[in-house]
Structure 1
């Protein structure tokens, strides 16, 4: 014990400081400091959400809030400049009752103007204004004799026949009606001007967006046209090289060229329609190319009835339904083949039906424009002149299309119906 050495005071302090540092009370402070940015971010997000909700509420009820603000400002100024006004519940009630005829005249006139002026119903407006003026007179009389005394707890003097025939009341009512109706008319035209300004702004914005969309669509169309044309020319080259090597290969390449040529250049007229015979030929080519793909193992029944000459249809509508059948249908079941039936009656009614058994395995992908787009195109081209029905059963899928087609004056002889077989099956 005598030999024990005492540590210097500075060394003891450093050791104590080191030990105190190991006991990390500072960790709580670090944790709090680390949470500060997170809390600040949440508070900022909450504030932004509240501001957005408040702005949406103001935007939705801006007209009501504007009217409320104007009335509060007007009544506040009147209360400050009025000698008889006393800030109490009775005083506030009396002030509101005092200006009740003015509010009735203003908003009643607004109702009539906004109801009849936009439709230019001037006779109804004049008759309604006459009745409304009588209503203003009645409200003014009852305010003076009944409601205002009740608000100020004075004696009520019920109106009599002499009251309703007094010139002073009619004069005051006429002055109130003319003044507030003039203010209402100004307010009406102010609202209508603002409405037309907003509509013009919206129209210009929609026009700019439409022009922008048109430019983007033209650019996308241009980009989409480059590769198909290149592929079309390449297929022609392959067709020339395949001659003499494989009749089936050259026939398949030629059919694919025809399909691509029709898709790119369908020879539409000014109404955006093509010959129905051309559309049917396109269907045959699509069926043919699919048969070549599957070595003629597809079970397809294509029935064609009626006269097609002289009829036109918007392009690539029927093929959408055919592609849908190839995508979802059972292709090799001889008991349930793909059935395509096209019939035209004497009244130029087109009936096109596609029926197929649903495939249980994987389905082919399709690059058609889709049934939804087809519905929109049919609605735009044949309003109230077409019917498209879909029957989606558990094992079978059927699409039935009916269109009233217009006939052209001179039937085309580019493609004969005789060139289209009545039944195309394998």
Structure 2
């Protein structure tokens, strides 16, 4: 708002300066030829009248705009303004004469008065139209420049998304180290281990499911099913509970409707946030349980995570990079229609995420 006010003040100052120069120019020209016919006070009144018709005509041009009958309307406007101009000019001339104000503009001949004032009116209207044409041209050029800038930013954004997509595909290829062989091997180990330890066999099964989710191929938009991401989170919690003999204090809230929801999101966003809680949070504190809440409302996914930090917690070097990567991927995928809020206090860490689920395209072609 302040920027617009400053621009308006600059424009007003430029107009005042231009009219002042015009006033000085005309009176200086008269002074050089007829020094005794320069009367500044009365000249100011006529200049004020000319300025009123200058801006009045400009505003009327804007009102007519690009109407179908714009040329006919403009001719009618010019004729009407000319009649008004002649009458107001004549009234001003009589007023100046009656108050005995010196002026060089008085003439007793109606014919001479009409011819002179019509020429003056056409001169003012011509300048007014020229001013409008210049402003209209500048506006068109600004709009064109703005469109080109938007197009450039869109191309740049598309290039970044393509780069991110190629990077993700390369990462996916690196992970595809003969997955069938890997799963067959885990299945063999599971079959052998279940004979001796139910806990160990359950860990192998959970690990197999986690790897299956990691190696899952996203669709053409780079998205995966939300229910698969939820299953991934659940399996990750289960395997950590087995690791700590089910002593971890975690409150997972996911309504049944969300488990069966036919929705998709980009992968490794939710799971990365949960993994950060396992890495840097104190999940064994019974009094301050780690809370993970996921819900869907009005085609929006709401994900909240709150955990207590470890007492001797020092963030690992990759933590900040991981969060920046999440923010970048969300911005590219959802065109900044999402929201991500991080509350990082001394003892607690919270993440509040909202993702639109009706965003059809991840990449603009």
| TM-score when normalising by structure 2 | 0.61
Q: Are 2:251 and 1:301 equivalent residues in the alignment?
A: yes
Q: CA 1:343–1:210 in 2, change beyond 3 Å: closer, same or farther?
A: closer
Contact kept, 8 Å, 1:354 with 1:400, in 2: the verdict is yes
Residue number in structure 2 paired with 1:335:
287
Name stretches of at least 5 consecutive residues in structure 2 with no aligned partner.
1-5, 194-199, 359-365
Contact kept, 8 Å, 1:301 with 1:337, in 2: the verdict is yes
Let me know the Cα RMSD of the aligned residues. 5.6
Residue number in structure 1 paired with 2:61:
113
Offset at residue 196 of structure 1 (A): 1.1
Contact kept, 8 Å, 2:292 with 2:304, in 1: the verdict is yes
Which of 101, 104, 119 is the matching residue for 2:52? 104
Encode CA deviations 1:207-240: one digit per residue, 9 max, x unaligned. 2343244335434543454355324528887777
Q: CA 1:301–1:350 in 2, change beyond 3 Å: closer, same or farther?
A: farther
* Count of residue pairs brought into register by the alignment: 330
Q: Name which one, 1 or 2, has greater alpha-carbon Rg.
A: 1
CA distance in 2: counterparts of 1:392 and 1:132, whole angstroms: 67
Residue number in structure 2 paired with 1:412:
none
Offset at residue 289 of structure 1 (A): 5.8
Encode CA deviations 1:309-357: one digit per residue, 9 max, x unaligned. 3521433464466456557753111233223344569xx8777563534
Residue number in structure 1 paired with 2:29:
80
CA distance in 1: counterparts of 2:28 and 2:184, whole angstroms: 98
CA distance in 2: counterparts of 1:343 and 1:80, whole angstroms: 79
Residue pairs, 1:8-407, within 5 angstroms? 61=10, 65=14, 68=17, 72=21, 75-76=24-25, 79-80=28-29, 83-85=33-35, 91-93=39-41, 95-114=43-62, 117=65, 136-137=85-86, 139-146=88-95, 153-154=101-102, 176-219=120-163, 221-223=165-167, 225-227=169-171, 229-233=173-177, 244=189, 254-255=208-209, 257-262=211-216, 265-267=217-219, 274-288=224-238, 291=241, 297-307=247-257, 308-309=259-260, 311-316=262-267, 318-319=270-271, 322=274, 325-326=277-278, 329-342=281-294, 352=302, 354=304, 356-359=306-309, 361=311, 362=313, 363=315, 365=319, 367-368=322-323, 369-370=325-326
Q: CA 1:185–1:261 in 2, change beyond 3 Å: closer, same or farther?
A: farther
Encode CA deviations 1:259-282: one digit per residue, 9 max, x unaligned. 5334xx33266xx76433223223
Contact kept, 8 Å, 1:322 with 1:354, in 2: the verdict is no
